[in-house]
Amino acid sequence: MSKENIINLFYNEHLKTKEIAEKLHVSSSYVTKIIKQDDRYIQEKNFRKKESKNNRKIAQNKFIKKKREKQRLEDNYSYVQSQHEQATRELSKSSHLSNESYRKWNYSAYSYNPSKKRYEFDERLGRSVDVPKYIKER
């Protein structure tokens, strides 16, 4: 256990004083005393301070991104859940479906005609008598 070994571990391998003390089986105050005698101590201390600041910034950005992603997923889930509840209410109101609810339920069967301001059924699909031919826009 030499002073050069302590200095090498601190300045070249960038170990913490506690890690060096545990590795060499000495006290951390002894390690601190040795490294403070070196001319590079202030420079190394500033380097480690910058490194810590940068690491904290990166960790904070990751935390914020993760939090935003979680919030986005929760928002999407609550939106889908509210849409499902609305559809359930519309479909279970009565034994007879309103034309508007029917159009929403079969949205691919109707196309919007802007000149007549109504939704028209695609006749190529084949329409039974009880299916509305067109539905006026609300």
Q: 89 is written with which tokens?
A: 């209410």
Greatest alpha-carbon pair distance for the chain in Å reads 98
pLDDT, averaged across the chain: 87
Average pLDDT over residues 91-100: 70
What does the chain come to in residues?
138
Q: How confident is the model at residue 132 (pLDDT cuts 50, 70, 90)?
A: confident
Q: Cα separation of 42 and 22, whole Å?
A: 23
Would you say residue 92 has pLDDT above 90?
no
Return the higher-pLDDT residue of 51 and 87.
51
pLDDT digits (tens, 9 = 90+) for 96-113: 667 777 777 777 888 888
Q: How confident is the model at residue 89 (pLDDT cuts 50, 70, 90)?
A: confident
Residue-level pLDDT at 95: 63
Q: How confident is the model at residue 94 (pLDDT cuts 50, 70, 90)?
A: low
Average pLDDT over residues 91-95: 67
**Alpha-helical runs (H) found in 12-108:** 17-24, 28-36, 41-92, 99-105
Q: Cα separation of 55 and 108, whole Å?
A: 52
pTM reported for the whole predicted model: 0.47
Q: How confident is the model at residue 128 (pLDDT cuts 50, 70, 90)?
A: confident
